[in-house]
C-alpha cells in the first residue's frame, strides 16, 4: 500500500510455478508465455480474495492456442493448462506473440466467494496480450481502476527463466495528480520479465514501477498446486450421465480419467463404475420421491 496515497500495489514472481506448468504440459515458447501470463493474472486477482475464496480465469480465442485456463485461491496456489500446448509463433516487437496466438475472443472470470452461486463475468479481449485484457476486465466489470503488467521470459532452451507481474489499484480518494503521474511513469517502465531476470524481488519491482513510498501489508508464497483426487474424479465422472456409464459397463470397459491441470491419471474399474451408477440411480429415485 502506498504510504501517502490510497493506492494498492501488488507484485509477484511465479517463475517456479510457471516452469512447473511448462514441464507438466510440455508447452512450446508462445504457449508457455500465454499460460504464464494467465497464471500471473489469476494470482494478482487472487490477492484480493478473502480466506476460503478462489477463482478461475478462462481465456478463449480464435487463435491457434484455442484457450488458456488458470485457477488460483486466497493462498496463492495456482494451476493452469493451455488447450493447444505445442504452439510457437515467434516474436513480434521483440516479444513472444501471445496476442496472435490467443486471437479474438473473451476473458471470463469465475469466482467462488463461498456464496450460494458463483460470480461470473466475461469481457471481450482487447489485445489478447492478457495484461491489457485483465485491466479492462477490472475497470469495466468490477469498477476497479487498475493498471496491470505481466511478463514471461522463455529462454533458448524453452525453459521459463522469469515470470511475474504487478497490479496498481487506485482506491477511492486517489488524487488526479498521482493517477497522471503513474500513467506517465508506466509508459517508460521496463518489462517486468526484465526486472525479474535482473534479480529484482517483488518489493523492488513495486519500487521501480511506481517510485512511491509504500508499506508491506501481506506476503504470500506462490505454489503450483492441484487438488485433484479419486473422489473428485468420481464426482466429475458422475456428471457425464448414466447412459455413458451404462455403455462403459456393457462393453466391460474401465475408464481412465486424466486431470487437465496436473496430468495425473485415475483408472476407474468396472466395479467402481457399477457402484457409481447404482449411487446415481438411487440418488435420482430419492430425489423423485421427495418431489411427488
What would the pLDDT profile of 247-258 be if each residue is shown by its tens digit? 888 887 777 888
Confidence of residue 290 (pLDDT cuts 50, 70, 90): very low
3-state secondary structure of 43: helix
What lies within 8 Å, CB to CB, of 28 at 6+ separation is: 85, 86, 87, 88, 158
3-state secondary structure of 180: helix
User: Domain-by-domain residue ranges, the chain?
Assistant: 7-224, 230-290
Work out the number of other CB atoms within 10 angstroms of the CB of residue 81.
22
C-alpha cell of residue 93: 516487437
Question: How confident is the prediction for the chain on average, in pLDDT?
Answer: 91
Which range has the worst mean pLDDT, 36-40, 159-163, 234-238, 255-259? 234-238
- Across the range 48-77, mean pLDDT stands at 97
- Across the range 209-227, mean pLDDT stands at 93
C-alpha triplet 146, 72, 195: angle, nearest 5°: 55
- The number of angstroms, rounded, from the C-alpha of 76 to the middle of its chain's C-alpha atoms is 11
Kind of pairing, strands 77-82 and 223-224? parallel
Q: Locate cell 466391460: which residue? A: 252
Kind of pairing, strands 77-82 and 105-112? unpaired
pLDDT above 80 (res 284) = no
CA dihedral defined by 9, 15, 18, 22, rounded to 10 degrees?
A: 160
% of the chain exceeding 70 in pLDDT:
97
Which range has the worst mean pLDDT, 79-83, 87-91, 151-155, 172-176? 172-176
Residue 103 DSSP one-character state: -
Residues 209 and 14: their CA atoms lie apart, in Å, by: 18
The kind and range of the H/E element at 8 are strand 7-13
pLDDT above 50 (res 286) = no
pLDDT above 70 (res 237) = yes
The closest alpha carbon to 58, from 134, 1, 126, 6, belongs to 134
pLDDT above 70 (res 291) = no
- Predicted local confidence at residue 287, as pLDDT: 46
| CATH match of 7-224 with 3.55.30.10 | yes
CB 262 within 8 A of CB 78: no
- Predicted local confidence at residue 235, as pLDDT: 82
Residues 194 and 152: their CA atoms lie apart, in Å, by: 9
Return the CATH fold of 230-290: CBS domain Like (3.90.1280)
Amino acid at each position: 500500500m502506498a504510504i501517502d496515497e490510497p493506492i494498492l500495489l501488488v507484485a509477484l514472481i511465479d517463475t517456479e510455478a510457471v516452469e512447473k506448468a511448462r514441464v507438466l504440459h510440455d508447452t512450446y515458447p508462445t504457449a508457455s508465455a500465454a499460460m504464464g501470463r494467465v497464471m500471473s493474472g489469476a494470482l494478482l486477482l487472487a490477492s484480493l480474495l478473502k480466506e476460503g475464496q478462489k477463482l478461475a480465469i478462462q481465456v478463449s480465442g480464435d487463435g491457434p492456442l484455442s484457450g488458456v485456463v488458470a485457477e488460483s485461491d486466497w493462498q496463492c496456489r495456482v494451476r493452469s493448462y493451455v488447450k493447444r500446448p505445442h504452439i510457437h509463433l515467434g516474436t513480434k516487437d521483440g516479444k513472444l506473440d501471445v496476442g496472435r496466438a490467443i486471437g479474438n475472443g473473451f476473458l471470463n472470470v469465475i469466482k467462488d466467494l463461498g456464496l450460494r452461486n458463483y460470480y461470473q463475468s466475461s469481457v471481450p479481449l482487447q489485445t489478447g496480450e492478457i495484461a491489457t485484457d485483465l485491466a479492462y476486465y477490472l475497470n469495466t466489470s468490477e469498477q476497479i481502476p487498475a493498471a496491470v503488467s505481466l511478463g514471461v521470459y522463455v529462454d533458448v532452451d524453452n525453459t521459463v527463466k522469469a515470470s511475474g507481474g504487478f497490479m496498481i489499484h487506485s482506491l477511492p480518494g486517489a488524487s488526479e495528480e498521482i493517477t497522471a503521474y503513474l500513467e506517465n511513469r508506466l509508459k517508460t517502465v521496463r518489462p517486468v520479465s526484465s526486472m525479474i531476470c535482473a534479480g529484482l524481488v517483488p518489493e523492488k519491482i513495486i519500487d521501480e514501477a511506481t517510485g512511491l513510498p509504500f508499506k508491506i501489508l501481506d506476503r504470500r508464497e506462490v505454489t503450483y498446486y492441484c487438488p485433484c483426487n479419486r473422489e473428485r474424479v468420481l464426482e466429475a465422472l458422475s456428471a457425464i450421465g448414466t447412459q455413458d456409464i451404462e455403455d462403459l459397463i456393457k462393453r466391460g470397459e474401465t475408464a481412465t480419467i486424466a486431470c487437465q491441470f496436473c496430468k495425473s491419471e485415475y483408472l476407474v474399474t468396472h466395479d467402481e463404475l457399477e457402484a457409481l451408477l447404482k449411487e446415481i440411480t438411487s440418488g435420482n429415485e430419492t430425489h423423485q420421491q421427495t418431489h411427488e
